[in-house]
């Protein structure tokens, strides 16, 4: 046997051994791999489902599945034990006579069967704390006031009106079952129209009762016939017909705090430093002419919803611009969360600093304007240099060897 033959033979046996051992190892690891793959699959499906939930379900079922008003909670042990196909059926086709619409594409909804199946996995195996974080980070945490208590002082005033008792009953029912969608004081939200509306007051009480009882098909408005007693329905109809008599603040908005996560705080900080710090100061201490934010007087008196509104719409007549068309709801929410996080340590009275980039040079606060230098990308330089070097080397070596062999006769004669 020649050396080459021997090496080849050894290589052949080695390869065959490797093949057998390799397949053996795969066989031994296969049960573990299948389990791991199944776990991984559930994790991926939960991941997809959380986004679907945040985008479609959180608005009614709450940002962590806690249920809102009349919409039932999903974060319950009972639902965890429901068969996946039953959950899928309910989500796909909706529930008759409730606000739950059909979500499957086949039923006219927006969700694919795969997305519905993922949601069923979420309801059975999901972590609702993670769902809350996902919803917040996507900026989809519902900001509408969901449940609230009627103001007793205003209820007393209403009760003193002509036939006021029925209005009080209507307001109590409204605060319990309707405010989640129709908003504080019946002012309406993105979900449902205002009920404190002159056009509605023209509608007959019978028609209002019929609408509430049967719902409006094709919208989120459910039929309430089975849920509300006839007396409640009449009280609501009376309230809707006479809302102009009810003073503002009867069903006030709750002090809903903007929800935050670590991720949203980080986003809020970077957005604040990029867009707001110029005028309001890097620590919210304010600058000349621009009010501070990091101050007890401001933070204590201004609820999150109010800050959100100021950021979104600006303050007319002041330098505060409207940011609503420049930032997404998630970004504004993140900034509000970042500003709110100052409250525990905020000074009673802030000390405004000079604006960072205004006035003559000697008055500028240089420390605030030094931009972080871009780090030199050595890898890029090395790569580009390497390619150039290789090209030059090939070209040079080729040319040198060409010159050496150029005058030689073709292969064979030399």
CB of 391 to other proteins, least distance (A): 4
Instruction: Give the span between the Cα atoms of 133 and 54, in whole angstroms.
Output: 10
**Coil, strand or helix: which one is 300?**
helix
Cβ-based nearer residue to other proteins, 111 or 168: 111
CB of 130 to other proteins, least distance (A): 17
Instruction: Give the span between the Cα atoms of 368 and 46, in whole angstroms.
Output: 43
Cβ-based nearer residue to other proteins, 47 or 127: 47
CB of 376 to other proteins, least distance (A): 13
CB of 77 to other proteins, least distance (A): 26
Cβ-based nearer residue to other proteins, 198 or 380: 380
Which two structure tokens, joined as six digits, stand for 181? 């969608």
Rounded alpha-carbon distances, angstroms, from residue 66 to 116, 280, 298, 396? 20, 37, 32, 72
CB of 399 to other proteins, least distance (A): 6
DSSP codes, 101-159: ---BGGGT-SB-HHHHHHHHHHHHH--HHHHHHHHHHTT-S--S----PPPHHHHHHHH
Cβ-based nearer residue to other proteins, 30 or 85: 30
CB of 112 to other proteins, least distance (A): 7
- The set of residues, in sequence order, having a beta carbon less than 8 Å from that of 280 and lying 6+ positions away, is 286, 287, 290, 291, 292, 293
Cβ-based nearer residue to other proteins, 360 or 410: 410
CB of 319 to other proteins, least distance (A): 34
Cβ-based nearer residue to other proteins, 159 or 399: 399
Cβ-based nearer residue to other proteins, 289 or 382: 382
CB of 333 to other proteins, least distance (A): 23
Residue 117: exposed, middle, or buried by beta-carbon count in 10 A (0-12, 13-18, 19+)?
Answer: buried
Cβ-based nearer residue to other proteins, 70 or 105: 105
Q: Please list, residue by residue across 153-188, b when 16 or more beta carbons sit within 10 angstroms of its beta carbon and e when fewer do.
A: ebbeebeeeeebebbbbbbbbbbbbbbbbbbbbbbb
Q: What is the CA radius of gyration of the chain?
A: 34
Cβ-based nearer residue to other proteins, 199 or 379: 379
CB of 30 to other proteins, least distance (A): 6
CB of 6 to other proteins, least distance (A): 11
**Coil, strand or helix: which one is 316?**
coil
Rounded to the nearest 5°, which phi and psi values hold at 290? -110, 125
Structural contact between residues 138 and 147, judged by C-beta atoms closer than 8 angstroms? no
135: how many CB neighbours lie within 10 A of its CB?
Answer: 26
CB of 398 to other proteins, least distance (A): 3
Instruction: Give the span between the Cα atoms of 263 and 141, in whole angstroms.
Output: 14
Which two structure tokens, joined as six digits, stand for 244? 């102009």
Strand pairing partners for 37? none
**Coil, strand or helix: which one is 290?**
strand
Residue 73: exposed, middle, or buried by beta-carbon count in 10 A (0-12, 13-18, 19+)?
Answer: middle
> Which positions touch other proteins (CB under 8 A)?
5, 8-9, 11-12, 15-16, 18-19, 22-23, 25-26, 30, 33-34, 37-38, 40-41, 44, 48, 112-114, 377, 379-380, 383, 387-388, 390-399, 401-402, 405-406, 408, 410-412, 414
Cβ-based nearer residue to other proteins, 344 or 380: 380
**Coil, strand or helix: which one is 353?**
strand
Cβ-based nearer residue to other proteins, 19 or 216: 19
């Amino acid at each position: 046997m020649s050396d080459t033959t021997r090496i080849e033979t050894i290589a052949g046996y080695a390869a065959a051994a490797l093949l057998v051992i390799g397949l053996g190892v795969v066989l031994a690891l296969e049960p573990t791999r299948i389990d791991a793959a199944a776990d991984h699959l559930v994790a991926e499906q939960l991941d997809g489902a959380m986004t679907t939930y945040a985008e479609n379900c959180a608005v009614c079922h709450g940002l962590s599945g806690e249920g809102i008003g009349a919409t039932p909670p999903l974060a319950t042990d009972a639902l965890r034990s429901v068969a996946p196909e039953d959950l899928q059926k309910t989500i796909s086709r909706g529930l008759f006579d409730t606000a739950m619409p059909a979500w499957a594409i086949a039923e006219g909804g927006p969700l694919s069967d795969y997305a519905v199946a993922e949601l069923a996995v979420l309801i059975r195996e999901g972590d609702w704390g993670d769902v809350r974080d996902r919803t917040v980070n996507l900026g989809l945490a519902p900001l509408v006031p969901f449940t609230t208590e009627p103001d007793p002082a205003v209820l007393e005033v209403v009760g003193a009106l002509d036939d006021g008792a029925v209005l009080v009953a209507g307001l109590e029912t409204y605060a319990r079952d309707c405010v989640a969608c129709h908003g504080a004081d019946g002012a309406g939200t993105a979900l449902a129209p205002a009920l404190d509306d002159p056009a509605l007051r023209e509608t007959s009480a019978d028609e209002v009762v019929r609408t509430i009882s049967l719902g409006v098909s094709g919208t989120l408005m459910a039929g309430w016939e089975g849920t509300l007693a006839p007396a409640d329905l009449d009280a609501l109809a009376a309230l809707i017909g006479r809302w102009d008599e009810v003073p503002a603040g009867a069903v006030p908005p709750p002090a809903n705090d903007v929800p935050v996560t670590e991720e949203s705080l980080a986003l809020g900080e970077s957005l604040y430093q990029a867009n707001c710090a110029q005028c309001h100061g890097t620590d919210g201490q304010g600058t000349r002419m621009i009010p501070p934010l990091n101050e007890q007087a401001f933070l204590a008196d201004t609820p999150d919803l109010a800050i959100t509104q100021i950021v979104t719409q600006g303050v007319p007549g002041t330098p505060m611009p409207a940011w609503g068309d420049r930032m997404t709801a998630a970004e504004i929410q993140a900034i509000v969360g970042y500003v709110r996080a100052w409250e525990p340590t905020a000074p009673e009275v802030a000390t405004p600093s000079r604006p960072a980039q205004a006035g003559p040079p000697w008055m500028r606060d240089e420390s605030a304007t030094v931009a972080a230098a871009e780090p030199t990308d050595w890898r890029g330089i090395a790569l580009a240099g390497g390619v150039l070097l290789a090209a030059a080397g090939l070209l040079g070596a080729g040319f040198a060897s060409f010159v050496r062999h150029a005058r030689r006769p073709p292969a064979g004669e030399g």
